[in-house]
Every structure is written in C-alpha cells, then in structure tokens.
Amino acid sequence: MKIYNTLTRQKETFVPIEPGKVKMYVCGPTVYNLIHIGNARPMIVFDTVRRYFEYKGYKVDYVSNFTDVDDKIIKEAILENKPAAEISEHYINECKKDMAGMNIEPATKNPRATQEISGMIDMIQTLIDTGHAYEKNGTVYYRTRSFPGYGKLSHKNIDDLEPGHRDEKHALKVDGAGEKEDPLDFVLWKPKKEGEPFWKSPWSEGRPGWHIECSVMARRYLGNTIDIHAGGEDLVFPHHENEIAQSEAANGVPFAHYWMHNAFLNINNKKMSKSLGNFFTVRDISRRYDLQVLRFFMLSAQYRSPINFSDELMESAKVGLDRIRTAVTHLNEILADAPDTPATPSEQEKLTEAGKFTEAFETAMDDDFNTADAITAVFELVRFANMNADEGSTKAFAGGLKEQILKLTGVLGIDAEIEEGLLDDAVEKLIEERQAARRAKNYKRADEIRDELAGKGIILEDTREGVRWKRA
C-alpha cells in the first residue's frame, strides 16, 4: 500500500509502527456553525481511508477532535447572547447528525479541546522548561527558531517568513508586532479578554492557542509518535507545521510518520465564500440530495486532486449511485425466485472472472487511495452483473455478485442496497407533526423533522397548496 507523504513529497510504502495496527489523527471542525461541504471532504476522504485499512485487516485507532474553544465560537456566543459552551455543544450535536447522514463511522475518540486543558498546560510547561517557549505578560510564545526542523512539512525556508516577505501560495504575511522575541514566534497560551471563557494556568487566566490543542490530543489518545496525521491542505501551514515543532520539541521523537492532505473543494470553479453567495452547508445539500450522493461525489476524484462542486456534477453523482443501486435491486429480484442450488460450472467461471474487478479496486486503493479508479472498478462489476445475471441464475451466482458489489461499496461507505425505509403513511405522519410544530411556533422541532426526513432521502417542499414530498 502506497501513501503520498506530504513530508517527503513522494509516495511511500505504508509500514505501521505496530504490525496490524494504524494510529490515525484527523483534524476536526471548529464548532461555531453547521459544517460546510468543505469540511465534509476530509471527513469523507479519511473515513474511507480508515475503512480500507479495516478492509485490509488492520485495527485502526481513529481520533478526530472538535475544536470547541476559539475566537469564532466566542463571537457567535456574543451574537446569540449565549455561553460559548452552549454554542459548541449545539454544533457538535448538529455536526454528528450530518456525519451520520454522510455515513461517517464514529471515531475511536472525538476529544474536545476544552476537556484537555490540563494536558496542554503540561506540554506548554515542558516547552518552557526546555527553552522552546517563553512567557510575556501572561502570554506564552513558542520560539520558532529553537526548532531546527521548522518548515520541513510545508517545505518553507524560515528566513522567507520574516516580516515583509510574502508567501504567494498562502498569501501569508507574518505578524511582527507585539512583545515577541521574534516575529515568527506563535502563541501557545493567551490571557482572557473580558467575557471570554478561561482556565487557570501558571501564566494567566486564559485559554490555549489552536495549534497546541491537536498536539496534546494526538499524544494523549495515540502516543508520542503516530502513523498518520491528516487534514485539509489548508492546514499544512501553519497549523500542522506548528504541531510538529511543538510535539517533537516536547516529546523528543518524530510526531507522525505519514502526513496526508486532501485538496480544496471549489464551487462552480470558484472558491467557496459567503460573500460570493456560493457557501453551502451539508444541511443545505441534505435538503436537495441524499447525503450518500454527496459522499459518492466526493469520492469521484482522488483526494489530492481539487474537486469542483456543481449542480451538474451532483446530478451526475446521483445517476452513478442510482446505477449501482439499480443493479443491486435487480439482483435482489433475481434472488427472490432463483433456485437455491450451487452455482453451475459456467457461473463459477464467471464468479472467478468477476474477481478481477475486486483486484482492480484494491490496486486503485493501494495506490494512495485512488477512489476515482476504485469507483470505475465498481461500475465495471455492476456492468458485468447486469450482463450475466438473469432469471435463470442460481442463488449462489446472483448472491455472489451482490455480495461482491456490497463489499466494495461498503469500503467506500456507500449504501448500495436501498432499504424499504419509511412507508408513505409514516412520512405523512411526520409531516403532520411538523405542520403542528410550525403552527405552535416550535420551529426547532419542525426543522428537526425536516432534517430527519432529509437524512432518509425524503425531500420536503413547502408550496402554496401545502407540503409536498418526494424521495431524493
């Protein structure tokens, strides 16, 4: 199995620290609002990476955090006149709903930054004691130049980051103002401002900087050295670069052996932005599509390739997913009446021949998790099943083809077999409950019902004539 390692800029054969086990940390969202489809890409990509490792027989310890203390959360709390903890708790719960809709497997652990403060204080103290950090007026800074390897992940020359130098790719200008010993130093701990949440520390009542949070959570739940650290390519610098500096200075060993980063998602060939009016949350998409379609769309490109979101491409993904599901439905119809006898010699040859599609799937996934080519292999298997399974097939043959399709789509986190789902009268009952909630001005419950139905592939449309519904 080959993985493209951002650290070395080349594909490398994956060799785990401990045979048969994978320790994997993926940076999670900052929970101040509903997650957007840009957040969804790393969630789907690295959930699929995890699933493939499990398919290959590895035991995966998969840790993905929630950043639940941050300037954005505090700003939202002030706007809504609510405690910051209430804001983060609400959006963690909403995030989990969206993740379930996208069929993201629950992480081994979802640590929250606010629950790991003592570990952050301990690591910061270690960095101070070893000369890698210093305190000024209650703020603790990391001495960036104290770490000789700084820049090794982002492949930046530290001298090019001086004030006045500009990094064109990241449009970065390092702040040289303030009380730092060096303009490149970054914050590990900062004093509270009026009205902000805070924790007591040896330096001030305050809160941790963003970068130290992941270093501590990865160490606590996976150890000083982990196999894979992953996230979006926007995190390479400065977040992941700073994590390496902190962790390796504090722990004295390499932080992660492999660094994986997914490329950006654009909207109609433009960067997603609220100001451009092309900003979509996962919840927005769920009102138009089954979130399995979103997942299928995300996996239609190799994770290191930029992907463009558009109505046309989503419709194409829906057609592709429907094609797979239709094939499975057809096999189920054959199975309902097929004789329960062993596969004929001819069918056995065809089942053996179908094995080449599984081999093609695994070849694609072994090559840095190329889900685009893996999906192509699934389509070829579906075509083979459509051409060779019919009313005269045995249960063993039709069942073998179905099992193979479900096994491969399961690795991708795609539900290829459509369940009966909600009966029409059950849908109508929930719609009636939603209407009653709206009349009672219980809009929270009304939205919950809409989202519940959307998660099951039921799209509601409010019209002048009343509420209409359809299956996505």
- 377-388: pLDDT as tens digits: 999 999 999 999
Confidence of residue 429 (pLDDT cuts 50, 70, 90): confident
Q: With 80 as the cut, is the pLDDT of residue 428 above it? A: no
Least confident of 90-104, 245-259, 300-314, 438-452: 438-452
Q: What is the pLDDT of residue 177?
A: 52
Helix (H) or strand (E) holding 232: strand 226-232
Q: What is the pLDDT of residue 328?
A: 95
Q: What is the pLDDT of residue 425?
A: 63
pLDDT digits (tens, 9 = 90+) for 159-201: 888 543 333 333 333 444 568 999 999 999 999 998 899 999 9
Q: How high does pLDDT run on average in the chain?
A: 91
Structure tokens at 184: 């490149």
CB 152 within 8 A of CB 7: yes
State the Cα–Cα distance between residues 416 and 326, nearest whole angstrom.
Answer: 9
pLDDT digits (tens, 9 = 90+) for 316-332: 999 999 999 999 999 99
How is 149-170 classified by DSSP, letter by letter?
TTTTTTT--GGGGSTT--BTTT
The Cα angle at residue 157 between residues 151 and 162, in degrees rounded to 5: 105
Q: With 80 as the cut, is the pLDDT of residue 345 above it? A: yes
Q: Which CATH number does 314-411 carry?
A: 1.20.120.640
For the chain, the farthest-separated pair of C-alpha atoms sits apart, in whole angstroms, at: 81
Least confident of 28-37, 343-352, 424-433: 424-433
Structure tokens at 162: 């001086």
Phi, psi (degrees; rounded to nearest 5) at 98 = -65, -40
Least confident of 190-204, 237-251, 413-427, 430-444: 413-427
Q: What is the pLDDT of residue 472?
A: 57
Structure tokens at 131: 């000369």
Tell me how far CA of residue 216 lies from CA of 343, 377, 410, in angstroms.
55, 40, 33
CATH topology of domain 20-271: Rossmann fold (3.40.50)
Q: What is the pLDDT of residue 247?
A: 98
Q: What is the pLDDT of residue 471?
A: 62
Q: What is the pLDDT of residue 168?
A: 36
CB 45 within 8 A of CB 298: yes
Task: List the strands of the sheet with 139-142, edge to edge.
Answer: 133-136, 139-142, 186-191, 206-208
Q: What is the pLDDT of residue 167?
A: 38
Q: Which residue would you say has higher pLDDT here, 435 or 103?
A: 103
pLDDT digits (tens, 9 = 90+) for 17-76: 999 999 999 999 999 999 999 999 999 999 999 999 999 999 999 999 999 999 999 999
Rg of the chain over all Cα atoms, to the nearest angstrom? 25
Burial of 441 (0-12, 13-18, 19+ CB in 10 A): exposed
Measured torsion, CA atoms of residues 39, 42, 47, 50, in degrees rounded to the nearest 10: -150
- The residues spanned by each domain of the chain are 20-271, 314-411, 424-471
Q: What is the pLDDT of residue 170?
A: 36
Phi, psi (degrees; rounded to nearest 5) at 303 = -60, -25
